[in-house]
């Protein structure tokens, strides 16, 4: 499993684009009322993004890996990581799950979400192998106290009150992935209205196009602020 996890980690940047494309394949539906799917899906995805934002806002995390291989120069155990060892991955899973619900795709939820979770489980096992070998007892002690997946919310208030939350760091770290999943969500809604093939298509289309343009402008603005070093994650 460690070797497989290292393999998946090496190509992990392709995971989301591939799974995003698979959201658009035909499938039996989950909800009869598609608006219910849209509302439920966006709530789940925003929960995942909120988790990621809370993690990033409290701790300046250098994205894992070097030369597309598992690597970490530091052992991070504070912030949300003191309550769960893999909160960012939980956020990613919830974002994709929400998109699957918004797509109203039973096939995606029953087959592709479990496959995605399996890939992440393999990555986590490979990362744990690396951290154990490189940090030894400190990581073993941390692993014995903090769950791999299930968050322990005891003391979460103290965690937030004792640390500085940086919204600027969240924007700089999250703008790319957030732009991608939100744009995907809008495209899923557009697909729904297009399939209806009625007047609602023409009524909703301008709003959806404006939404895509707005997301793109936000992406370009934050990217400019980052590249110009006006905003930083420090």
Binned at pLDDT 50, 70 and 90, residue 206 comes out as confident
Residue range 2-166, CATH number: 1.20.120
Domains of the chain by residue range: 2-166
pLDDT digits (tens, 9 = 90+) for 179-201: 999 999 999 988 887 776 656 66
Query: How much is the mean pLDDT over the chain?
Result: 90
Query: Which two tokens mark 119?
Result: 């890939």
Give bridge partners of residue 66 from the DSSP assignment: 69
Among candidate residues 82, 71, 46, 53, the one with its CA nearest the CA of residue 158: 82
When pLDDT is averaged across residues 79-96 and rounded to a whole number, the result is 94
Summarize the chain as % helix, strand, coil (round to 5). 70, 0, 25
Among candidate residues 182, 169, 190, the one with its CA nearest the CA of residue 216: 182
Is it the case that residue 126 has pLDDT exceeding 70? yes
* pLDDT number for residue 68: 77
Is it the case that residue 143 has pLDDT exceeding 90? yes
């Amino acid at each position: 499993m460690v070797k497989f996890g290292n393999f998946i980690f090496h190509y992990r940047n392709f995971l989301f684009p591939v799974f995003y494309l698979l959201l658009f394949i035909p499938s039996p539906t989950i909800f009869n009322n598609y608006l219910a799917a849209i509302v439920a899906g966006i709530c789940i995805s925003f929960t995942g993004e909120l988790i990621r934002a809370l993690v990033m806002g409290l701790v300046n995390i250098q994205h894992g890996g070097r030369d597309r291989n598992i690597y970490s120069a530091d052992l991070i155990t504070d912030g949300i990581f003191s309550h769960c060892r893999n909160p960012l991955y939980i956020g990613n899973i919830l974002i994709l799950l929400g998109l699957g619900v918004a797509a109203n795709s039973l096939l995606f939820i029953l087959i592709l979400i479990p496959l995605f979770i399996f890939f992440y489980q393999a990555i986590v096992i490979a990362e744990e192998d690396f951290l154990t070998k490189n940090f030894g007892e400190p990581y073993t002690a941390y692993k014995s106290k903090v769950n791999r997946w299930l968050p322990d919310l005891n003391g979460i208030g103290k965690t937030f009150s004792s640390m500085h939350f940086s919204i600027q760091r969240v924007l700089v770290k999250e703008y790319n992935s957030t732009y991608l999943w939100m744009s995907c969500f809008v495209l899923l809604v557009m697909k729904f209205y297009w399939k209806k093939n009625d007047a609602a298509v023409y009524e909703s289309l301008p709003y959806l196009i404006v939404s895509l343009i707005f997301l793109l402008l936000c992406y370009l603005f934050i990217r400019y602020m980052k590249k110009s070093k006006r905003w930083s994650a420090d």
